[in-house]
Amino acid sequence: MPRFLTHYWQVFALLTGALFTLSFAPFNYPYLAPLALSLLFYSWQNTPPLRAFLIGYGFGIGSFGVGISWVYISVHDFGGANSVNAILITLLCVLFWGVFPALAGYISAKTRLNKSQKLSYIALPVIWMLVEYCRGELILNGFPWLQIAYAQLDTPLAGYIPVLGAYGTGLISTLMAAGLMGVFQQPRYQMVFIALLLTTLSLGATLKSVQWTQSSGAPIKVSLLQGNLTQDQKWLPENKAKTLLWYKANTEAHWDSELIIWPETAIPAYLSEVNDWFIQPLSKQAEQHQSTVVVSLPIKNEAINEKYNAVITLGKDSGFYKKRHLLPFGEFLPLQPLSGFILNSLAIKLGDFNAGDTHQPLLKVAGYPFLTTICYEDAFGALGLVNIDQAALLINLTNDAWFGDSIEPHQHLQLARMRALETGRFLLRATNTGITAIVDAKGQVIQQAPLFEPATLTDRITPLTGLTPYARIGDRPILALLVSVFFILIGLSNPNRRHISADAL
């Protein structure tokens, strides 16, 4: 471990982790991410496994301690937990997810891949991204929050996103972090590292100008409604009529739009409770005006005891979508029966929903199919590729009211923007209290509603066709590359092999 960190590594790790989080929305200092990782990688070099683990854990606590502080608001303000329990749950979340950077440090040291500077410039980024893939896709249904690629949406590295997706772009970002470390560690090769960094940025900037998808028809007029009913008021019986009247009135005011979108569970009732007197009459109105209304509400089948978080299209093109990727501890309880016992003892009431089928027919508007996601589903790139070849646009219905006036709605919009850029499609994102937004195929926000205000966004968007390279190949090639390189590096670092050494690189 570098000498100047010997006595101050705990403070260093926490501060570096917090620095890393400042690269994401709403702070938006994207170049802090590779800088913070370069400092972390530097501290791991030639460090024993336990010390590398603890440094990584400090980094993780600093990063998630700032980055998911909104867990407290969700659990305390809207989940019903008292202050002590809310703090404990938030701390547990931070301590749990903070383990993953620690694992990256431990694996690099345990496999001896942090011993050689030459190996570590490749090994540390590869290990980091393998651990990030496990965190983002495999553990507790996946949690891809604060992954480095999302901070790069407004930098030249965004050009790699429609080609390689979030994990591929993350690998490039972490390799740049290692390259930045090399600039200061290898004076003899300093210009080589600088040239590689500048070439990577230049190629990314060039790729940003490429149009991967094309128009598939005339622009359609769309309206997105944001009713601004906070989570603690939304399900109160006395507010149901007021909520439905607001959305109905603002829908009727925009019958000139071909598509009108309501946010997640904008209707605070099960379908069976409102279908006859509200849903069906509204659907007939939409058909008369040649418009499609996209609404969201829970549906249940009492006969088989199933509940779904669902989206329904009303009007000429009617259909259903059932949420596929559920939110752990929000819509289902993993690690049963332990998690259920703990949360019940804390008097926190959570949903118990079923997941919809992975492959569902795409819903349509004006004859154009669109890919639907509900809330947390927009955090997963692979989920956004299912039937993407048929989809002309993306629609996401979200409820970020659970997190109040925190950094979470800004982070969530950043994740959603990634899906538009990965697929080369417009994204229409309607939320209950914000941030409702229209995002173009380059991942740039065209219009954005303010937080905690009733609002309507109206614009014309172009249905698109064609596939980006990432939409064709997905994440599997990058995952295969990461695994292959990891094992090759282990072979090169094995001191028992006489003919292949770290100097072979």
In angstroms, rounded to a whole number, what is the distance separating the alpha carbons of residues 129 and 175? 10
Residue carrying the six token digits 């752990």: 328
Quick check: is 264 catalytic?
Answer: yes
DSSP-assigned letter for residue 242: H
The token duo for 55 is 């440094």
Q: Which of 264, 331, 377, 422 is catalytic?
A: 264
Quick check: is 322 catalytic?
Answer: no
Helix H, strand E, coil C: the string for 107-143 is: HHHHCCCCCCHHHHHHHHHHHHHHHHHHHHHHHHHCC
User: Strand locations in 123-253, DSSP E?
Assistant: 214-215, 220-226
The token duo for 252 is 């009727």
Could you tell me how far CA 73 lies from the centroid of its own chain? Answer: 19
The token duo for 111 is 């496999």
Could you tell me how far CA 329 lies from the centroid of its own chain? Answer: 17
In angstroms, rounded to a whole number, what is the distance separating the alpha carbons of residues 134 and 140? 10
Quick check: is 300 catalytic?
Answer: no
Buried b vs exposed e over 215-251: b needs ≥16 C-beta within 10 Å?
eeeeebbbbbbbbbbebeebeeeeebeebbebbeebb
Q: Which of 258, 323, 331, 422 is catalytic?
A: 323
Angle subtended at Cα 421 by Cα 251 and Cα 356, rounded to the nearest 5 degrees = 60
Q: Which of 132, 322, 375, 422 is catalytic?
A: 375
Inter-residue contact 349 to 319 (CB < 8 Å) = no
* Catalytic (active-site) positions: 264, 323, 375
